Amino acid sequence: LPTPAKELPQRAVLHKTDPLDLKTYGGKGYFREATKQRYYFKLYDKALQLQDMGFPDPGPLLRVELKARKMKYLAEAGVVTLADLAKPAALLELGQLLTRNLEQVLFAAPLPLPATLSTSEKRLLTSGSSLRYWEGLSSASLRRTKSDYRRVYAHHIADPVFRVAAQELETVWQHLLTQPEPGAQPATAIPHINPLFRVLPQRMPQEKMPLVNHSLSKEEGGGISERAKPDAHSCKTCGRPINTSNATAKFCSPKERGSAAAKRCRNADSNLRNNKRRALHRIESTPLLFDTRPFIRVPEEVREFVLAA
């Protein structure tokens, strides 16, 4: 942008008929957000965010963002599954959707106001620069007054910063669609993404697995001992022998090792499965664009347990 990126967020008042909530980060920057039933709209100073993350100042940089809350909103752009995000037509429509949302922002007129305005027009632009003015109107009055505001704004106000921002947004989106990633070989078409593709860790071959775990553990008596190689009837966790009459026992017996030590062995075996399952529950509890379960990275031996939740 030709001017600091905070100017547009600073002047943003409404998105459609909804207020744009404001955060200023202690006066250093401007962040605007409108919450809709199907999506979030955000407008903020991206340069400030990058500097806060430790990156060098990139110069005036405005961020226009849409974050879908309901899949139906993206379905209007032809995006129903993850694979649709690789379709050029859908990506083009998403870029147009982003531009249309920026154009639906009502901005306060930059000062000073032109002398060509009548008294009523100047009063309208002055009052309309405040969110409180719009919050005091009924729904019907708000839509009618907003239409009058936009008509006066378009006829009298030259807003080069907004025009440049809208044009740059469209240009950058086209650039993203046509330019390959740095270091990538140019392709004739966008590759198809298989939504069933799974990214899983490769298991170590059985013959290469270590037979002895060399980590040290504290004995009940306070000493330190090396964990032994597990045999046919030894604890699955620590590898120590199980000297009980229960042939199906898998972990240390409380009678032999003490209740605390036996509990640690049982928990060490179950914590991995349960922690992965709880993490999956947290992911599934928020709205998602597609089924993430095929992409969850968990050890193969606990995968069935985790994904059965």
Reported as a pLDDT band with limits 50, 70 and 90, residue 190 is very low
Q: Which residue has the higher pLDDT, 273 or 306?
A: 273
The C-alpha atoms of residue 266 and residue 284 are separated, in whole angstroms, by: 27
Q: In this prediction, what percent of the chain has a pLDDT beyond 70? A: 72
Give 47: exposed, middle or buried? Use CB within 10 Å, 0-12, 13-18, 19+.
Answer: buried
Range from 108-122, 202-216, 258-272 carrying the lowest mean pLDDT: 202-216
Provide the token pair at 70.
């309901």
What pLDDT sits at residue 188?
A: 46
So where are the chain's domains? 7-110+159-178, 209-307
Q: Which residue has the higher pLDDT, 166 or 201?
A: 166
pLDDT tens by residue, 35-87: 999 999 999 988 887 887 778 888 888 999 999 999 889 998 889 888 888 88
Picking from 158, 137, 160, the residue whose alpha carbon sits closest to that of residue 147 is: 137
Largest CA distance in the chain: 99
Q: At 243, which amino acid appears?
A: N
Q: At 193, which amino acid appears?
A: I
Q: What pTM did the predictor assign?
A: 0.57
pLDDT tens by residue, 246-280: 878 888 888 888 888 888 888 887 877 777 777 76
pLDDT tens by residue, 124-168: 999 999 999 999 899 999 999 999 999 999 999 989 999 999 999
What pLDDT sits at residue 77?
A: 87
Q: Which residue has the higher pLDDT, 286 or 53?
A: 53
Picking from 210, 220, 202, 213, the residue whose alpha carbon sits closest to that of residue 264 is: 220
What pLDDT sits at residue 144?
A: 95
What pLDDT sits at residue 157?
A: 93
Tokens 């095929």 identify what position?
A: 294
User: 235 and 242 in contact (C-beta within 8 Å)?
Assistant: yes
The C-alpha atoms of residue 243 and residue 247 are separated, in whole angstroms, by: 9
Q: Is 233's pLDDT higher than 90? A: no
222-226 long-range Cβ contacts below 8 angstroms, 24+ apart:
none
